[in-house]
């Protein structure tokens, strides 16, 4: 289990992580989500004792990371900035790590196999693609057979087959009872991989929730209604907790209703002989829900280009 207690990091006047309190439980994949610059890597580095918090503390398996005598066997980590010797082969890189912890050669061969790197095990790392480098980083994280995994953007650089591989791997590691904490800025990917989500924006906790609850609360659901008597239906449906929006470019015969379900709308319409041409429950996309939640805290926005007049 990972625990963070009021973790805070400041660089000069800038607070990049503020009062983060969360628990990452064993047996689940917990996604750590946030837009670029939200403080995910900084938080992970603090969990791993690579950055010291300005305030607060964290534990892994009940102890600070630095208090573990054989860290590779407690916590496997993949960070964005890897320090690998480019002239070494993948096999030698992992053997060098294994030596520091008395891990046998058979385990090195096993993790190379798990990561799909057996065929290139004796090739130099400098010739590796980004995806192969990620696989090697994950092999290194698994080397000590750790109970906890902390992986910063492990999907980066992986091709579709690699993405599927890591998704299945993370799920199977969690099923074995391990604590799996994985960062990403892709909500759609995390929705397929994670059970639980910790969402940050500008260093602050925005949500600590299950994937299912996140969709239900952050995105909500609405019902699209098409009827020639939109005005009359609107009057009948209006009530506490019900929000009806005829969106900006919505034709006059359409309504988008939140706060009730299609069955209630259908029954109300039937009771007043209002014909319905369409009655469609809509689920907000996860990506949209994530963007809605984090939109105030996106650090790097793409500016809308100014109109430039005549085309050259
Ligand atoms: N050593 C440092 N000195 C000053 N500012 C830093 C330092 N390291 C990180 N930051 C700033 O802290 C903020 C959070 O960065 P961090 O890398 O933790 O975010 P992130 O959520 O992992 O983002 P990304 O998805 O882009 O990797 C950013 O604004 C970054 O510029």
pTM greater than 0.90: no
What's the ipTM?
A: 0.94
pLDDT tens column, 12-68: 999 999 999 999 999 999 999 998 889 999 999 999 999 999 999 999 999 888 888
CA 11 / ligand 1 centre spacing (Å): 10
**39 CA distance to ligand 1 middle (Å):** 6
Q: Are residues 131 and 276 located together in one domain of the fold?
A: no
Domain at 122, CATH number: 3.40.50.300
Same domain, 134 and 270: no
Q: Is residue 87 domain-shared with residue 194, that is, in the same domain? A: yes
Q: Is the CB of 38 under 6 A from ligand 1?
A: yes
| Spatial contact of 219 and 285, defined as CB atoms under 8 Å apart | yes
Residues 183 and 234 in one domain: no
Kindly state whether residues 229 and 206 are assigned to the same domain. Answer: no
Model pLDDT, residue 312? 36
- At residue 246, the pLDDT reads 75
Segment 222-234, tens digit of pLDDT: 899 999 999 899 9
Q: Please check whether residue 288 lies inside any domain of the structure.
A: no
Residue 139's pLDDT is 95
Q: Residue 196 Cα, ligand 1 centroid: separation in angstroms?
A: 23
Residue 259 sits in a domain of what CATH number?
A: 3.30.70
Q: Are residues 27 and 173 in the same domain?
A: yes
Q: Does 42 sit in the ligand 1 pocket, CB within 6 Å?
A: yes
Determine the pLDDT at residue 158.
Answer: 87
pLDDT at 36: 86
Q: Has residue 294 been placed in a domain?
A: no
Supply the pLDDT for residue 151: 96
d(CA 211, CA 286): 9
Are 106 and 196 in the same domain? yes
Asked if 163 and 189 touch (Cβ cutoff 8 Å), the reply is yes
Residues 278 and 177 in one domain: no
Of 188, 210, 232, the last residue of a domain is: 210
Could you tell me if residue 215 is inside a domain? Answer: no
pLDDT of residue 310: 42
Beta strand ranges found along the chain (DSSP E) = 2-11, 14-24, 29-33, 55-60, 75-78, 148-152, 179-184, 196-201, 204-210, 221-226, 243-245, 254-258, 278-283
* pLDDT of 304: 46
For residue 56, the number of C-alpha atoms closer than 13 Å in the C-beta half-sphere is 21
Q: Is residue 263 part of a domain?
A: yes
Is 310 within the bounds of a domain?
no
Residues 145 and 232 in one domain: no
Residue 130's region, left for phi above 0, alpha for psi from -120 to 50, else beta, is: alpha
Whether 41 is in the pocket of ligand 1, judged by its Cβ within 6 Å, is: yes
- 3-state secondary structure (DSSP) of residue 67: helix
Residues of the chain with pLDDT under 70: 81-83, 216-220, 247-250, 283-286, 297-312
Q: In which domain, by residue range, is 242 found?
A: 221-283
**What gap in Å lies between CA 88 and CA 122, rounded to an integer?**
9
For residue 141, is it within any domain?
Answer: yes
């Amino acid at each position: 289990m990972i625990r963070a207690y009021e973790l805070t990091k400041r660089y000069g006047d800038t607070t990049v992580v503020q009062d983060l309190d969360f628990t990452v439980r064993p047996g689940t994949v917990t996604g750590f989500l946030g837009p670029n610059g939200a403080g995910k890597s900084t938080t992970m580095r603090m969990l791993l004792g690579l950055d010291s918090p300005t305030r607060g503390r964290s534990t892994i398996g009940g102890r600070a990371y630095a208090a573990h005598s054989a860290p590779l066997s407690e916590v496997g980590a993949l960070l964005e900035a890897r320090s690998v010797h480019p002239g070494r082969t993948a096999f030698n890189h992992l053997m060098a790590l294994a030596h520091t912890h008395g891990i046998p050669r058979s385990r090195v061969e096993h993790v190379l196999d798990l990561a799909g790197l057996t065929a290139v095990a004796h090739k130099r790392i400098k010739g590796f693609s980004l995806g192969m480098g990620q696989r090697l980083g994950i092999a290194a994280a698994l080397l000590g057979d750790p109970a906890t995994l902390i992986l910063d953007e492990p999907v980066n650089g992986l091709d579709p087959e690699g993405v599927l591989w890591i998704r299945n791997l993370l799920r199977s590691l969690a099923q074995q009872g391990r604590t799996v904490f994985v960062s990403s800025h892709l909500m759609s990917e995390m929705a397929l991989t994670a059970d639980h989500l910790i969402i940050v924006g500008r260093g602050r906790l925005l949500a600590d929730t299950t994937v299912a609850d996140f969709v239900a609360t952050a995105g909500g659901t609405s019902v699209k209604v098409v009827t020639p008597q939109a005005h009359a239906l609107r009057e009948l449906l209006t009530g506490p907790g019900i929000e009806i929006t005829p969106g900006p470019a919505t034709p006059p015969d359409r309504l988008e209703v939140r706060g009730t379900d299609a069955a209630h709308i259908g029954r109300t319409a039937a009771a007043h002989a209002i014909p319905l041409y369409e009655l469609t429950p809509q689920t907000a996309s996860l990506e949209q829900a994530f963007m809605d939640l984090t939109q105030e805290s996106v650090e790097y926005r793409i500016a809308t280009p100014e109109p430039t007049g005549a085309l050259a």
